[in-house]
Amino acid sequence: MSRSNIWKDFFKDKKHGGHRYSSEDFLSMEAREKLFHLDGGKRLLDFGCGAAELLTYYAPEYEQLVGVDFSESMLEEASKRIKKKKCQNIDLILADHETLWEKLNSSFDRITAAGVIQYLTFQEIDKFISDASKYLNEDGKIVLFDILDSRLYPLWKIGLFSQDANGFKILCKTGFEFRTAISSSLRNRPKDILGFAHNPYTVEKIASKHGFRMICVRSMYYEYKYHAIMFRA
């Protein structure tokens, strides 16, 4: 199975975006942080919108929003949530990073993705930014939220950031992580929902290749994630 099909299969029956807490209070705080970085615009595309847990909080701030996801179960949840929250300005599209572009008929001020880029390889991110730049208005921004930082994620995984970290626990977790990594790679399956970690400098190089300047900002709510904010240079 190809990498992208592995993830499609992984998300085919998922119903939530895997946020640290699923309470509306937390989602609303996360959305406020993201709205700060999105910083305006009228038309927004949310790639990998999942169950629209953030998208519905973006809705009051935009004229028109499009949510895209390759998981039918996620989009079903998104539809229910959009109805419940009475958002009238959101359209949903079932597509992946390749098929999405042919389904769009207009451009955007903001193209964003939260917790999605880790399911793409560097080559796919490169192609995504190249395609996105063709659908981005002149003063638009591409804002990729919550990318796993390849320098911090392994440390978080072995429990280095936890309150009760000690040498023994870290050693046990390291052993466990090592075993899980080997067994999932033998089964050609993803290790967990979080996907692959990407070094911010490599993402920045890709951005610059496509004529964007990138600012890297730490995530407020996840110690091991960062946001990549791209402007036309």
Ligand X SMILES: C[S@@+](CC[C@H](N)C(=O)[O-])C[C@H]1O[C@@H](n2cnc3c(N)ncnc32)[C@H](O)[C@@H]1O
Q: How many residues bind ligand X, per CB under 6 A?
A: 20
The size of the chain, in residues, is 233
Interface of this chain with ligand X, residues 100 to 119, rule: CB under 6 A: 114-116, 119
**Nearer Cβ to ligand X, position 99 or 208?**
99
58 close to 46: Cβ distance less than 8 angstroms:
yes
CB atoms within 10 A of CB 172: 12
Q: Of 10-18, 82-90, 148-156, 203-211, which segment contacts ligand X by CB under 6 A?
A: 10-18
For residue 144, report the phi and psi dihedrals to the nearest 5 degrees.
-105, 110
Q: Is 11 in the site for ligand X (CB under 6 A)?
A: yes
CA atoms within 13 A on the CB side of 141: 21
The CB-of-50 to ligand X minimum distance in angstroms stands at 3
Q: How far apart are CA 204 and CA 228, in angstroms?
A: 8
Beta bridge partners of 218: 226
Q: Of 42-50, 157-165, 167-175, 178-186, which segment contacts ligand X by CB under 6 A?
A: 42-50
Q: How far apart are CA 126 and CA 101, in angstroms?
A: 15
Q: Is 196 in the site for ligand X (CB under 6 A)?
A: no
**Nearer Cβ to ligand X, position 6 or 160?**
6
Q: Is 77 in the site for ligand X (CB under 6 A)?
A: no
Residues within the interface to ligand X (CB under 6 A):
4, 7, 11, 17-18, 48-50, 53-54, 69-71, 74, 96-97, 114-116, 119
